[in-house]
Amino acid sequence: SQKIEQNSEALNIQEGKTATLTCNYTNYSPAYLQWYRQDPGRGPVFLLLIRENEKEKRKERLKVTFDTTLKQSLFHITASQPADSATYLCALVSGGSYIPTFGRGTSLIVHP
Amino acid sequence: DSGVTQTPKHLITATGQRVTLRCSPRSGDLSVYWYQQSLDQGLQFLIQYYNGEERAKGNILERFSAQQFPDLHSELNLSSLELGDSALYFCASSESGLHSYEQYFGPGTRLTVT
């Protein structure tokens, strides 16, 4: 069956370091993959999209990689700040339905 | 602020009751999506409407229904409520009906069924 896996354990890092979050999937052929940020009790906020034929995408301090062979996406936040503390969700979009399927998210905590 | 509005923000009701959640998409967006988020299930897609027509259906219970009106606002109706329906309900909107390249989420409605 289709599965999206994000680390359920919170990632704790020191301010200024690079945070790396992982999204693994099985039994999907995604057309593209999205990353969202969600703060407690609030709606997800779109951050980045990467297509199946793209290896890497950047936006300011954010970088996403997409390896369709490994079936994995990595999400990096460089020079992390306490304000980056949130839950980060990955979502896969298959070419058939074009409806995002979300992972459970990983909580990031950046300590000052 | 995403530009998507949802009302009410909080709703507390009893089992067996019926409630209606309302969503107004961003100006210009024709698609509305409804999601349910609970602690044990994560963010689950329920249903999508595009320009007034149902376009895609996810794990939506038969007790739940939705519609999109000519002014593009949408309503999600939940009936015969059970304790397990307690969750955050989000609506999201996007420009296109087919490609949800970027979805804009509303602030959510927190439903508590007692």
pLDDT in tens, A64-86: 999 999 999 999 999 999 999 99
CB contact under 8 A, A43 and B45: no
CA distance A101 to chain B (A): 7
DSSP 8-state class, residue A97: T
Identify the pLDDT of residue B97.
64
Residues of chain A contacting B88 with CB distance shorter than 8 Å: 41
Q: How far apart are CA A14 and CA A108, in angstroms?
A: 11
Task: Quick: pLDDT tens for B19-43.
Answer: 999 999 999 999 999 999 998 788 9
Say which of A41, A99, A105 has its CB closest to residue B45.
A99
Q: Which two structure tokens, joined as six digits, stand for B102?
A: 């970027």
Q: Shortest Cα distance from B79 to chain A (angstroms)? A: 24
Q: What angle do CA A39, A40, A46 make, to 5 degrees?
A: 30
Residue A80 Cα, gap to closest chain B Cα (Å): 23
Listed in sequence order, the residues at least 6 apart from B36 whose beta carbon sits closer than 8 Å to its beta carbon are: B43, B44, B46, B87, B88, B89, B90
Exposed e or buried b for every residue in A63-87, given b needs 16+ CB within 10 A? bbbbebeebebbbbbeebeeebbbb
